Structure 1
């Protein structure tokens, strides 16, 4: 039990859980309202959402153009695009909760489509909406398909690491390995339908490019040349551009997000809203937070007050963290890794029944 966690839980003694939840929610809402009163532009959600959307999309396009023109290296382009698409991920999450353009469905759906295309390995956002609403209803239980889909509750073996890197291919592999024989085809079919067409295209190009690069690398070490046709070489040149501009940034961002999200959510023995999430905001999480827009620090706020857009959560975080800590929410509980994301510290470190979930 680390010092942060001990302090957090000690402050909650003597209060009923429902009361503690109400205190947290009231404080967060009041802080958000105070910020919107002080800065009225924050209340114009459509305007702010569209501005962030245009800035992030523009950032992706400019970064990609600069790479194609030889103005920046791949090593700069990839993290830049990963950062801008982390903004787009947060926008998609808010759009799923109908935070922007609820009455202008054409604009709303166009934003979802563009965001999906620029994060090409992600699940269909209209399908994700159903999974995400279910996540809020049954967070941390076996029915929470969204969190299970990013590895939450599964032992930290090769399969979980692969799922955190590539949820599409990872869950296909998981379905083939773990799903009972009679249900494999149905499960695989659902995964393919939920990830058509962008993740299918993304994975095909990514693993094709990795294979092509690996073959060339091995051949070079062996002192031989591979006799690729001119068409293959030209095609792979275009594929490499797409890898640098969209696909590699996606996998970088996705891994950081899934690593943080699957470990800040608890799984398997969650009994209440207070037990659904923790806050991860220690300095050593920042390499991951950079590419998921501080998700580990602010997403727990969303579980208490669902209806706030992500930019408000970033601004309310100092006040929200204070009251969350006081009322018993855990901070930086790194023991979650050994407990396979179980909430209770008495949980067995490696739970066989969780491996198959």
Structure 2
């Protein structure tokens, strides 16, 4: 099957979709268990969450250090992100709403800082309809279409406060309403996560600067106890989220084109050069495979990898 230069865009898209579907069918015939989407999705869901819990246990009892815990949890939760994406497209337990929505809740809880997945479903469907245009709220919300200024980097590191800053600095009307709507989309887990993160940064920045100046901060016993729990939460869930999220957002906002997009052929590029691998590691090779999804949305993420 080859694409000729004289073919129309519709013909090219049809051939690409045919090739993707044939490849997916090939793997399901070759490895029959791959056809059991519900079983595989639920297995990955349970294994990833158990992995996060085991990593937390080993960290808390001193078996592994904080860095190892952060890296392992970031990789495991990248699987949960891929599951969420497939769940948004109703690929797991479409006919069993109880399990489906239970998985939606689970992937949200273990990826604190992310937007409500039920709200993201609407934004993501809009993304497929309007990819690369001003109406693509999902991609614009992670910096796509914006120059690589300090504001874009802030958005990529922290979509919550980064987008609040973008709203307040912009010329949009009803700024208070837009900020309130954004915060509502991240309530409650995202708001808790971002609050814990900035408390952590503020505490350690204040302590560090004071130490450099030869002084010390007289933190209260209550503050010290609270910070001991916050430090643990940051290592187990919050820091892995920010590491994984930045890698994913950088790759996604870079691989999705913005402007002059009038065909699925122009929506994405493929990022698979070797220097992207440190980022790809924490977003499950998203840059190499996500373009496939724009042509055929019904293939789960593990088939896209194959």
Category of TM-score, reference length = shorter chain: over 0.9
Give the structure 1 partner of residue 24 of structure 2: 32
Q: CA deviation at 1:55?
A: 1.1
Give the structure 2 partner of residue 200 of structure 1: 191
Structure 2: 5+ residue stretches without partners: none
**Secondary structure, counterpart of 2:174 in structure 1:** helix
Q: CA deviation at 1:13?
A: 2.3
2: CA distance, partners of 1:273 / 1:209? 42
Q: CA deviation at 1:27?
A: 0.5
Q: CA deviation at 1:179?
A: 4.0
1:118 and 2:96 correspond: no
Q: CA deviation at 1:12?
A: 5.2
Structure 1: 5+ residue stretches without partners: 1-10, 316-357
Give the structure 1 partner of residue 166 of structure 2: 174
Match of 2:294 among 298, 303, 309: 303
How does 1:134-283 map onto structure 2 within 5 Å? 134-180=126-172, 182-283=173-274
Match of 2:9 among 14, 17, 22: 17
Q: How many positions carry a matched residue from both structures?
A: 304
Give the structure 2 partner of residue 330 of structure 1: none
**Secondary structure, counterpart of 1:251 in structure 2:** helix
Match of 1:43 among 35, 40, 44: 35
1:313 and 2:297 correspond: no
Structure 1 residue ranges, 4+ long, deviating more than 3 angstroms after superposition: none
Q: Deviations over 1:246-299 (max 9, x none)?
A: 000000000000000001000121111100001000000000000000000000
Give the structure 2 partner of residue 348 of structure 1: none
2: CA distance, partners of 1:65 / 1:151? 36
How does 1:88-103 map onto structure 2 within 5 Å? 88-103=80-95
Give the structure 2 partner of residue 133 of structure 1: 125
Q: CA deviation at 1:15?
A: 1.9
2: CA distance, partners of 1:96 / 1:179? 32
Pick closer, same or farther for the CA change 1:179–1:88 going to 2, 3 Å: farther
Q: Deviations over 1:125-156 (max 9, x none)?
A: 00000000000011101100000000001000
1: CA distance, partners of 2:33 / 2:266? 34
Give the structure 1 partner of residue 280 of structure 2: 289
Q: CA deviation at 1:39?
A: 1.1
* TM-score, normalised via structure 2 length: 0.98
